[in-house]
Amino acid sequence: METQSKNDEAGQELPVLQKGIFYAIRDGPLDFVMEDKTKRGLTVQERSPDEKYGVESEKGMIYDMDGIGHRVGIRWFFPKDKYSLEQVLCHAKEMDERYRKIREETCPDY
């Protein structure tokens, strides 16, 4: 299976269908691509199945203050033949809410 990234084969960025503060959902040829906007600029190190969503995902590495690396999802590929835009949007809104709560706890004046 050919890997797909946020850009199509011609190198053009995929169109955005929905976006929030912390996510974007792009319209791929075969998949809805949910991106975590907090991971912008993070280098993709692997593409593998994601345990939480049960779909293929691109993952990178973030290091904590102790130098310990944590593998994190950057974008997830939801096949259009199995998922509707509404289902993907539901996952994206959950992610958005999780990040909003973290922001409220860590930056109460935001």
Residue 38 belongs to some domain of the structure: yes
CA distance 110 to 106: 9
Structural domain containing residue 66? 16-106
Give the model confidence (pLDDT) of 26-82 as tens digits: 999 999 999 999 999 999 999 999 999 999 999 999 999 999 999 999 999 999 999
Domain count, the chain: 1
Per-position b or e across 32-68, b if 16+ CB within 10 A of its CB: bbbbbeebeebeeeebeebeebebbbbbbeeeeeeee
- Is the pLDDT score of 108 beyond 90? no
Give the model confidence (pLDDT) of 9-23 as tens digits: 444 689 999 999 999
Residue 6 belongs to some domain of the structure: no
